[in-house]
Amino acid sequence: MNEKEQMDLGRRKFCLDLGRMTGGLALLSAAPWLKACTDEKVTATQGETARIGMVGTGSRGRYHIHNLLALPHARVTALCDIYPPNLEAAQALCPGARAYTDYRRLLDDPEVDGVVISTPLGLHADMTLAALSAGKHVFCEKAMALTMEQCKEVYDAYQAGDRALYYCMQRMYDPKYIEGVQRIKDGLIGDVVGMRCHWFRNADWRRPVPSPELERLINWRLYQEFSGGLMTELATHQLEVCNWVAGRLPSEAVGMGDIVYWKDGREVYDSVNVTYRFSDGRKIAYESLISNKYNGMEDQILGKGGTVDLTKGVYYLEEDTEISGMRRLMDSIRQGVFAAVPTAGPSWRPEYRNEYVPHPLVQGSVSVNGGQSMVAADHDGSDLVMSAFCISCISGEKAENVVEEAYGSTLLCLLGNQAMAEGRTVRFPEEYKIPYMKF
C-alpha cells in the first residue's frame, strides 16, 4: 500500500470512528466542525476534485502540499511565492501546477477553487480578504491576523459571504483531543478547576539567510511587523483547546514577557508567562520559552476528580480504583515515605504525584507531538483539516465554528501580548466580542 492509499484509509477510518467515539452524536454537537469529516460527506464527494492554489511555498506550505498530494479529492493547480528557491522546490513537487510570484494573479486563475495561505502572519488578513473577495474558498495558517482590528475585518467578511474559511487549528481534528474534550465534558475528571499549558524548545527560531537583505523575509517570526511571537505561533493552538473545553473565553489577562537568552536583534519575546482569568475565577496558566526543552509541550486540563493530558492522550484520576490501597502502601514503604507502617485507623489515601497512573483516552497507537519541530508533526490532525477543507471546496459548505474558534484563540494571543507589553491586567475588549463568544 502506497502513502496515498494509507492516508486515504486513515482518513476514512477517522470518519467512521467519529460515530464510535464516546458520545456519538453528542461529540458532533460539541465539535460541530467534524460534520465535514463524516463518512457521508466523504462518500458524497467521491470522484470529485478540489483544485487548490498554494500561496506561500516555504517549509510549512510544502508540508501542506505533501498532505494534499495524498488526498484523492485534491489537486494542486497553482503555486505562488516571492522567494524563488521556495517556488522551485514546490514546482518540483507539483510539476503540472502554474507558478506565480503575485498572489493576486493566482486569485484570478479560474482553475483554482480554494486557496491555501502559508505566509507570514502579517500577510494573513490581506490575503484572506482578497481571496474571499475573489470568490475562492480559503484555508489559512494560524493565527488569524496580526491585530484585533484585522481579525474582526476578516470575521465580518466571512460572515457576509458564502465562501468556506478554514484555519489550521489541527488539534480540533486530532482524535485524542476530540475524545479527550468530549470525555471531559461528560464528566471524566469532574468539575474543571484550571488549565495549564506550556511549550518549551531550545533553539534560536532562526533559519539560514543567504543574503542580509532577506533577513526579515526569511526570519519573519522574530519581528513585530510580521509576527506576534510565541503567542501567535504556538499559544494559539493551546488556547483554542482551553476555550473548547471551557465553552467560553477568559475575560482578562496578565503576564510578563522578556528576551532572556536570544539577544540577537529579535523584537519578539523568547520567554512568556501569561495567566488568563475566566469570569468564574478559573485560570489558564500559559508558559513558553525557547532556550530549554526539558518540559516539551503539554496541554493539561485539571479537574476536581483528575487530570487530562491531551498532548499525550492520557488521563490521571485523583481516586484511582485500579491501584489498590495495599499496593500504594507497600510502594510508599519501599520508597521510604513512612518510617512506620500504620496498622489501624481510617483508610489511607496517598497525596503523592508519582502514584498517578496514566490511562489512555483512545485505544491503539497514539501520535504524540513533542513540540520540537518548527514545521509540523505527522498525524497531528493537519491532514484531516486539509481534507475537510477540500471537501468544502467541492460541496461549497462552510464548516461550523472553525472561524469562530480561530478568532477567539487569536484574540487571546493578542490580548496576552498586550498585557505583557503594557505590564498590566487587560480585559477582553467589548468591541471585538462576537455572538459566538461566552464569557
- Same domain for 369 and 383, yes or no, is no
> Tell me, what's the pLDDT at 343?
38
> Tell me, what's the pLDDT at 347?
40
Q: CB 57: neighbour CB atoms within 10 A?
A: 29
What value, to the nearest 5°, has the Cα angle with vertex 395 and ends 392 and 401? 40
Q: Is residue 98 pLDDT above 60, yes or no?
A: yes
> What are the counts of helices (DSSP H) followed by strands (DSSP E) for the chain?
15, 15
- Same domain for 265 and 308, yes or no, is yes
- Same domain for 123 and 200, yes or no, is no
**Segment (H or E) for 299:** strand 297-303
Q: Residue 213: pLDDT band by 50, 70, 90 thresholds?
A: very high
Q: Indicate whether 7 belongs to any domain.
A: yes
Number of domains in the chain: 2
Q: What is the mean pLDDT of the chain?
A: 89
DSSP letter assigned to residue 16: H
> Tell me, what's the pLDDT at 18?
55
CATH of the domain at 290: 3.30.360.10
Task: Confirm whether pTM is higher than 0.75.
Answer: yes
Q: Residue 321: pLDDT band by 50, 70, 90 thresholds?
A: confident
> Tell me, what's the pLDDT at 22?
45
- Same domain for 289 and 369, yes or no, is yes
Q: Which stretch of 14-18, 306-310, 360-364 has the lowest confidence by average pLDDT?
A: 14-18
Mean pLDDT of the region 315-320: 94
Q: Indicate whether 180 belongs to any domain.
A: no
Q: Indicate whether 156 belongs to any domain.
A: yes
> Tell me, what's the pLDDT at 338?
42
- Same domain for 255 and 280, yes or no, is yes
- Same domain for 226 and 367, yes or no, is yes
Q: Which domain holds residue 136?
A: 3-172+379-399
> Tell me, what's the pLDDT at 258?
98
Q: Is residue 141 pLDDT above 70, yes or no?
A: yes
Q: Residue 351: pLDDT band by 50, 70, 90 thresholds?
A: very low
Strand partners, 317: 306
- To the nearest 10 degrees (0 to 180), the angle between helices 3-17 and 382-395 is 80
Q: Is residue 228 pLDDT above 90, yes or no?
A: yes
Q: Is residue 396 pLDDT above 80, yes or no?
A: yes
> Tell me, what's the pLDDT at 363?
81
Q: Indicate whether 239 belongs to any domain.
A: yes
Mean pLDDT of the region 258-283: 98
Mean pLDDT of the region 321-345: 49
**% residues pLDDT > 70 (the chain):** 85
Mean pLDDT of the region 160-186: 95
- Same domain for 84 and 7, yes or no, is yes
Q: Is residue 348 pLDDT above 60, yes or no?
A: no
Q: Which stretch of 91-95, 239-243, 347-351 has the lowest confidence by average pLDDT?
A: 347-351
Q: Indicate whether 216 belongs to any domain.
A: yes
Q: Indicate whether 181 belongs to any domain.
A: no
CB 89 within 8 A of CB 62: yes
Mean pLDDT of the region 111-138: 98
Alpha carbons 229 and 267: distance in angstroms, whole number: 9
Q: Which stretch of 20-29, 60-69, 256-265, 278-287 has the lowest confidence by average pLDDT?
A: 20-29
Q: Is residue 239 pLDDT above 90, yes or no?
A: yes
Residue 246, by phi and psi: left (phi above 0), alpha (psi -120 to 50) or beta?
alpha
- Same domain for 26 and 51, yes or no, is yes
Calculate the alpha carbon distances from 80 to 58, 164, 207, 436 in Å. 10, 21, 21, 34
Q: Indicate whether 234 belongs to any domain.
A: yes
Question: Cis omega (within 30 of 0) on the bond before 89?
Answer: no
Q: Is residue 277 pLDDT above 60, yes or no?
A: yes
> Tell me, what's the pLDDT at 337?
45
pLDDT (tens digit per residue) in 17-54: 555 444 455 567 778 899 887 778 878 888 999 999 99
What value, to the nearest 5°, has the Cα angle with vertex 284 and ends 184 and 436? 70
- Higher-confidence residue: 243 or 32? 243
> Tell me, what's the pLDDT at 276?
98
CA quadruple 418, 424, 430, 431: dihedral sign: negative
Alpha carbons 316 and 296: distance in angstroms, whole number: 19
Mean pLDDT of the region 168-178: 93
Q: Indicate whether 177 belongs to any domain.
A: no
CATH of the domain at 117: 3.40.50.720
Helix %, strand %, coil % for the chain, to 5?
Answer: 40, 20, 40
- Same domain for 389 and 421, yes or no, is no
- Same domain for 199 and 290, yes or no, is yes
Q: Is residue 346 pLDDT above 50, yes or no?
A: no
- Same domain for 394 and 291, yes or no, is no
Q: Is residue 217 pLDDT above 60, yes or no?
A: yes
Mean pLDDT of the region 173-184: 93
Alpha carbons 24 and 32: distance in angstroms, whole number: 12
Q: Which stretch of 41-50, 152-161, 201-210 has the lowest confidence by average pLDDT?
A: 41-50
> Tell me, what's the pLDDT at 328?
52
Provide the pairing of β-strand 283-289 with 192-200.
parallel
- Same domain for 96 and 194, yes or no, is no
Alpha carbons 108 and 162: distance in angstroms, whole number: 18
